[in-house]
Amino acid sequence: DVKVTQSSRYLVKRTGEKVFLECVQDMDHENMFWYRQDPGLGLRLIYFSYDVKMKEKGDIPEGYSVSREKKERFSLILESASTNQTSMYLCASRWPGVGAFFGQGTRLTVV
Amino acid sequence: TQLLEQSPQFLSIQEGENLTVYCNSSSVFSSLQWYRQEPGEGPVLLVTVVTGGEVKKLKRLTFQFGDARKDSSLHITAAQPGDTGLYLCAVPPRASSGSARQLTFGSGTQLTVLP
């Protein structure tokens, strides 16, 4: 059974903290993605990676960075968390041309 | 302008009713995917349609890709409370776009099936 696992289901962080969201997939997929999902705005792509150490900005990269040191792991970093980054964060992976597999999501609250 | 328009945005029906939700665009796509997302979970892929006019069935769910490959519909027969969730459509990028890897999602239809 294919699996994308996000390290936390719920996180509460303080403004200004550095936050790490981890995602691991066991399908040997080349492509991995980080989205955030907000009511009325749908899924918005933050960053994606198409290979180890390779990354591309998505639609809303400001305030975020990513790291992909190993093929199976893709990390999203909030350099200095702000309240407007409170959101549901979703990690996904896929092969080109096929559907995406998502993790269970991390609901992040920044206070 | 959104690439994908999903309608309706919200739908609340009684158990046993039938329903159809739509995903529309002015662009032509090589394929289209439908996902369902339950509260507090990530989206789960239901189906991919590839050929214009294609119809795929998944138990009580029927998916159709428009003849011109610009739109798609999802029909649910005899809806059940377990069908409750956010239904999302997604398309791969067009050949002319900058990145060949990411999917673009519609904003979804939030379906509630009442017992």
pLDDT, tens digit only, all 111 positions of chain A:
668 999 999 999 999 999 999 999 998 988 999 999 998 888 999 999 989 989 999 989 999 999 999 999 999 999 999 999 999 999 999 887 778 999 999 999 999
Strand ranges (E), chain A:
4-6, 10-13, 19-25, 31-38, 42-51, 54-57, 64-70, 73-78, 87-94, 101-102, 106-110
Is a pLDDT exceeding 80 seen at residue B25? yes
Question: Looking at the complex, does the CB of residue A96 fall below 8 Å from at least one CB of chain B?
Answer: yes
Q: What is the mean pLDDT of chain B?
A: 90
Within 24-83 of A, beta carbons closer than 8 Å to B belong to: 31, 33, 40-43, 45, 48, 50, 56, 58
Q: What pLDDT is attached to residue B93?
A: 72
Beta-ladder partners of A38: A42
Question: Are B105 and B4 contacting, i.e. CB atoms less than 8 angstroms apart?
Answer: yes
Superfamily in which the B5-114 domain is placed by CATH: Immunoglobulins (2.60.40.10)
What is the residue type of B8?
A: P
Mean pLDDT value of segment B37-51: 93
Residues B89-100: tens digit of each pLDDT: 999 876 544 455
State how far the Cα of A103 lies from the Cα of A101, in Å rounded to an integer. Answer: 7
Q: What pLDDT is attached to residue A9?
A: 94
More confident residue, A2 or B34: B34
Picking from A42, A56, A90, the nearest residue to B42 by CB comes out as A90
State how far the Cα of A76 lies from the Cα of B102, in Å rounded to an integer. Answer: 17
Q: What pLDDT is attached to residue B96?
A: 47
SS3 A78: strand
State how far the Cα of A4 lies from the Cα of A72, in Å rounded to an integer. Answer: 9
Q: Mind giving me the DSSP string for A86-107?
A: -EEEEEEEE-TTS--EE---EE
Of the CATH numbers 3.40.50.2300, 3.40.309.10, 3.30.700.30, 2.60.40.10, which one belongs to the domain with range A4-110?
A: 2.60.40.10
Q: What pLDDT is attached to residue A63?
A: 96
What ranges do the domains of chain A cover? Answer: 4-110
User: A43, B105: Cβ pair inside 8 Å?
Assistant: yes
Is a pLDDT exceeding 60 seen at residue B1? no
Mutate to test the interface with A, among B101, B104, B109, B110 (most CBs of A within 10 A): B101
User: B88, A98: Cβ pair inside 8 Å?
Assistant: no
What ranges do the domains of chain B cover? Answer: 5-114
Chain B residue numbers touching A46 (CB-CB < 8 A):
none
User: B102, A48: Cβ pair inside 8 Å?
Assistant: yes
